[in-house]
Structure 1
């Protein structure tokens, strides 16, 4: 095969094409919009949690509640379609990163760290695809409560031993993810994900935001495990259930307000990531 043919084959293979797409500045800017939309969703979730604490609403404090709130606003359906596009682009970006590695981290410390980064990218791709699907359902007027769906799925899985084992393992994994977020906030190693110098404000937003989100995620995992151990599927009500469980504790209103403010802080930090995160 000639040199020209070899170059053409290399140029046209899927990995090469995907790599060029990932490095396209227009695609990168569009993908970053996914972080902006994620920030908006977190702001709304935090706002709903605070309203619940103050007795001002019975809405669900999770992504479905945020989509419901957004859809009810003037131009909300248009905004939801914007969310769909932004989330899909970010999901595709993360898929490319999972498959090819991150172009912003070509000098990974080891094969192990590169593998971990790719796994995290794949996980984020799933999260953004889920966000896009939720937004799509609400844009079509067919959105459902995430907490209700979680309870239904948990109830069906509890009827079998493999399902019970899977739920317990899933709860432990969710708690682990929450713990990782808390660690990332306390250690401030989230700063490694950003380009350029960072201000004290950015460090504070990231620290508080990651810890708050980590605690919320860990609470979701704990509720799943408690639901399985007590055969009470209604306790596995996702993020909304976690917030309302916090609100039911002594000084619950104050704790729920603090939790809502923490999620809002993570939402604000998402805007920082949209501008400065390495991609």
Structure 2
């Protein structure tokens, strides 16, 4: 009896995995689910448009919300009908997050399977990281739609301050900062080499190439700047400097020719936002 049980266990596990894959496959073939997931790119574009706008406004001495995703959602919540848009956006972000989560488990049905284990792990890990990001956007959108949203910069500073109170926390901060810089470098690489074209369906025109190149380089520079500020904040024991994208942009604006640099950064982030509208229609899902 024990031999029979042992021999059937692998097939049961295999059947279970096959069932999960089949269910995930059916879900990603659902047209309504795909439309909601693509709408997540539209919301991502809107958020980046607002972040870029806030950055340019700061360059000319304007005040208001922080130049990051929480500031963008706060800006949106203040507009007529903004709460409704945020609720719709929360659903779209959640759908895109779930789509990426499925990709991290079973892979993408529209992209070729990676030809090496290292490449497979990288693509699955990237999909999982994007899923986490979109779920964070989901929670943030719900919070601001309900009127209880908080500045992500303040939350980052508070978390950094708590982690700095121990050696292990300080080491973790440095490792996190290096990971953020690596992500920024990947965006820069993807923009400079135009590898983002592989993520799109059909032929890609010159306008799309330019939008993607400028957008990814601007996004990568901003992300790398966040990582650098985390390291600066850690080494100087100044947690207030680790305030995310808003802190990175304000630090840029404080440099010589800061107004010019901040405007360029804002326009770059806006370009990345526009590129996400292209992704909403042409991204391989």
Q: TM-score range by the shorter chain?
A: over 0.9
- Counterpart position of 1:26: 32
| 2:213 equivalent to 1:207 | yes
Query: Do the aligned residues in 2 keep the contact of 1:178 with 1:217 (CA within 8 Å)?
Result: yes
Does the residue aligned with 1:104 lie in a helix, a strand or coil?
A: coil
Residue pair 1:10, 1:16 contacting (<8 A) in 2 also: no
The residue number in structure 2 matching 1:127 is 133
The answer as to whether partners of 2:181 and 2:228 remain within 8 angstroms in 1 is yes
In 1, distance between residues paired with 2:140 and 2:93?
A: 10
Match of 2:259 among 247, 253, 258: 253
**1:37 paired to 2:43:** yes
For 2:251 and 2:52, locate their aligned partners in 1 and report how far apart those are by CA, in whole Å: 15
Stretches of structure 2 lacking an aligned partner (at least 5 in a row): 1-11
Alpha-carbon distance in structure 1 between the residues aligned to 2:18 and 2:205: 43
C-alpha contact 1:179 1:214 (8 A) present in aligned 2: yes
Q: Deviations over 1:124-153 (max 9, x none)?
A: 000000000111111111011110000000
Report the TM-score, using the length of structure 1 for normalisation.
Answer: 0.95
Structure 1 gap ranges (5+): 1-5
- The SS at the match of 1:13 is helix
Confirm whether residue 195 of structure 1 aligns to residue 201 of structure 2.
yes
For residue 106 of structure 1, report the CA deviation from its aligned partner. Answer: 3.7
Match of residue 272 from structure 2: 266
Residue 247 of structure 2, aligned match among 226, 241, 248: 241
How far residue 59 of structure 1 moved from its aligned partner, in angstroms, is 2.1
Deviation per CA, 1:140-176: give whole Å up to 9, x if none: 1101111000000000100000100000000000000
Deviation, 1:19, is: 1.4
Question: What are the equivalent positions in structure 2 for 1:220-231 lying under 5 Å apart?
Answer: 220-231=226-237
